[in-house]
Amino acid sequence: MNSDLQRIVFQAETEFKSAKSLPELENTKSLFLGKKGKLTIQFNNLKGLDEAHRKELGNELNLAKKTIEKTLASCRKKLVEDRIAKKLKSQAIDISLPGRGLNSGTIHPLSLSLRRIGEIFQGMGFEVAEGPEIETDWFNFTALNNPKDHPARSMQDTFYIENKDEFGQNLLLRTHTSPVQVRYAIDNEPPIRVISPGKTYRVDNDATHSPMFHQIEGLWLDETINFSNLKGVYINFLKEFFESTNLQVRFRPSYFPFTEPSAEVDMKFSNGPLKGKWLEVAGAGMVHPNVVANFGLQSKKIKGFAFGMGLERLTMLKFGINDLRLFFENDLRFLRQFQC
């Protein structure tokens, strides 16, 4: 390459490298490669040369142009990268800062229990279903083999709503979450494994009863389900929930319109402050054939078990709480004792 060209190449490379921004680089580029750029002028001069010189100088000019373009491309790339790096730096967040408001809240003990109960049953393959708190008479009672004027209805006195629903059905605040299971069993095909947690209402108010409380009910329907499946599932649940393999559990005969046979489930701790006392924790039984039929299923073929328990009661036993009203008074001295 002749010395003139070498000078131009050197000059271009130095100027490209000292450009501080992309627009500056593009301006510098035009000084060499633009219409009136130093290299372009050299190309234009080729016209006046004889063939041998034109060929020789032409080759050198092409080489010079390639060298300049290569430097230009790498300078451009560097400026783009610098711009991105600068932007990232200016937008960086310091994730090592401790979060604000840490330790300013706790999870309500009922929510803690509910989460744990959900986890345990989901671990056994149950789904979780929710439903309306204002129910029709049919879903809350009649579908569950508890017809109008049946004395068993008095076990679950509730709050009635004056208006009827769009089909003229009586409305009430649900007394248990069993109606969710009716809805679920009508909408799904067996095998069905579902728990239904939620708020429930009854006309009760003292240290162990509140007009609003929470239930979790469970239902397993399939062709081969029997009472030992109920015992296996429920005893396993209690052991996991109370984190104890030393629990004694008994199924005491009882009556519910929707199950046959029916049982009340009692358990006994082998240590701790409640050691040695039998405590009632749930109602349970084999789903009554009339109820299976109300699900729209063949009661000769499909069997199932159901159980229902009070979330407050289980939580009181788990944490040693002696007054149910504490759950709803929102006293921070009480609530702050529960960390997740």
Residue ranges binding ligand PHE (CB under 6 A): 176, 178, 217, 256, 259, 283-285, 306-308
Q: Report residue 80 as tokens.
A: 């783009």
Smallest separation (angstroms) from ligand PHE to the CB of 205: 17
Residues 6 or more apart whose CB falls under 8 angstroms from that of 92 comprise none
DSSP state, residue 143: G
Residues in the chain: 340
Element holding 74 (H helix, E strand):
helix 51-90
C-beta separation of 145 from 288 below 8 A: yes
Smallest separation (angstroms) from ligand PHE to the CB of 118: 17
DSSP codes, 173-242: E-SSSHHHHHHHHHHSPSSEEEEEEEEEE-S--BTTB-SEEEEEEEEEEETT--HHHHHHHHHHHHHHHT
Closest C-alpha among 263, 299, 282, 290 to residue 190: 299
Which residue, 37 or 285, is less far from ligand PHE as judged by CB? Answer: 285
Which residue, 32 or 213, is less far from ligand PHE as judged by CB? Answer: 213
Spatial separation of the C-alpha atoms in residues 163 and 324, rounded to whole Å: 32
For the chain, the first-to-last Cα distance in angstroms comes to 77
Which residue, 15 or 312, is less far from ligand PHE as judged by CB? Answer: 312
Smallest separation (angstroms) from ligand PHE to the CB of 158: 11
Spatial separation of the C-alpha atoms in residues 28 and 8, rounded to whole Å: 12
Smallest separation (angstroms) from ligand PHE to the CB of 288: 10
Q: Report residue 268 as tokens.
A: 């006994």
Q: What are the Cα distances from residue 159, in Å, to 170, 215, 271, 307?
A: 11, 17, 40, 23
Smallest separation (angstroms) from ligand PHE to the CB of 217: 5
* Identity of the residue numbered 149: D
Smallest separation (angstroms) from ligand PHE to the CB of 177: 7
Which residue, 297 or 306, is less far from ligand PHE as judged by CB? Answer: 306
Which residue, 38 or 214, is less far from ligand PHE as judged by CB? Answer: 214
Which residue, 37 or 304, is less far from ligand PHE as judged by CB? Answer: 304
Helix axes 38-45, 22-33, angle to 10 degrees: 20
Which residue, 113 or 259, is less far from ligand PHE as judged by CB? Answer: 259
Question: Which residue(s) pair with 313 in the sheet?
Answer: none
* Identity of the residue numbered 304: G
Which residue, 145 or 259, is less far from ligand PHE as judged by CB? Answer: 259
- Rounded to 5°, the CA angle 66-69-12 comes to 105
Number of residue whose CB is nearest ligand PHE: 308
Which residue, 137 or 217, is less far from ligand PHE as judged by CB? Answer: 217
Smallest separation (angstroms) from ligand PHE to the CB of 189: 21
Smallest separation (angstroms) from ligand PHE to the CB of 202: 9
Smallest separation (angstroms) from ligand PHE to the CB of 165: 22
